Chains A and B, each alone.
Chain A
Amino acid sequence: MSQAGVITEIETRDKDALDTPWNVVVHNDPVNLMSYVTMVFQRVLGFPRDRATKHMLEVHQKGRSLVWSGERERAEAIVEQLHGYLLLATIEQAEL
């Protein structure tokens, strides 16, 4: 009985880890132009221009912006695309 209980607990924790969303964060760098970053956000994330500009300004003024949150595989695909545009992007597991 106790063994089965332990197994159940581990499975639950793994499920929680899988369900925890992953964040895509874009970081500021001195090279990428504001207009370019806005264009990339529109293309990669499908943001309308206003939202893309808001996130670009957040990157510029606060040093980082959380631009997407969701399942890990998709988050990795987005970061890969952003790296293709030479933006500084990372994937981070959201805090529970």
Chain B
Amino acid sequence: MLQTKLRPLPPAAYARCMAGIIRREGLRWVHQRGRFVSALVRPLVWLAIFAAGFRFVLGVSIIPPYETYIPYEVYIAPGLIAMIELFNGMQSSLSMVYDREMGSMKTLMVSPFPRWFLLLSKLLAGVAVAVVQSYIFLGIAWFWEIEPPAIGYLAVLPALILSGLMLGALGLVMSSFIRQLENFAGVMNFVIFPMFFASSALYPLWRVKESSLFLWWVCQLNPFTSATELIRFALYGRVDWMSAAVVIGCTVVFMAAAVAGYDPGRGLMARKAGAE
């Protein structure tokens, strides 16, 4: 009964591994009720408060994909969804750092499956959670008169998955070089808020361009803008190809960086001056 012969891992086994990782992330998410609530409360609070305060930011233009004037809540909805995914990516990142400190990362790392596959599974687990959260947000946002066409609710799914992958992969990269839990908050602040505010999430870019060309460039280059626009157009049944390309490109880059970061040859584990 003992294994002494070399046996390649069948594809079914890969599927089981991925399912197991996703299940474990799901269980942890469900157990941490605080995370669940705050993940929803946060964008809803922003929706209520920002929309109330920034009503007159929008200005006169009709912005595509919208065909008429829209209330501010409708405009910021895609940005808030992207924010859910960004926070989710950061949360997954935090969990990875926590796992590393608490030791449960080792359970993952001694799995015989290739490391890139394990990381990808973790990523997909995070994306699954983010997508669920996003749909719940959309459901509640309906009461704020954020009513995209029915097609939008389906068309937005690929956009949610792609954006979730990109922002989750960003989280993975970050977790590979943040060594301690305490450092996490600082790095997060340097990532989350600049990404969110220097984007088209809260204001249309033509407005930013009016006040500062430099800032406009930053917003244009910010992958979060692409994620937001991808979601915005998808909610109205349209594809923003440019944004999709940027999101996919960044996902690949971030993922590659994450796999490199977690590589046992050079990665996080090696640099930690071991317990012995």
* Pair from one complex: no
Residues of A in contact with B (beta carbons under 8 Å apart): none
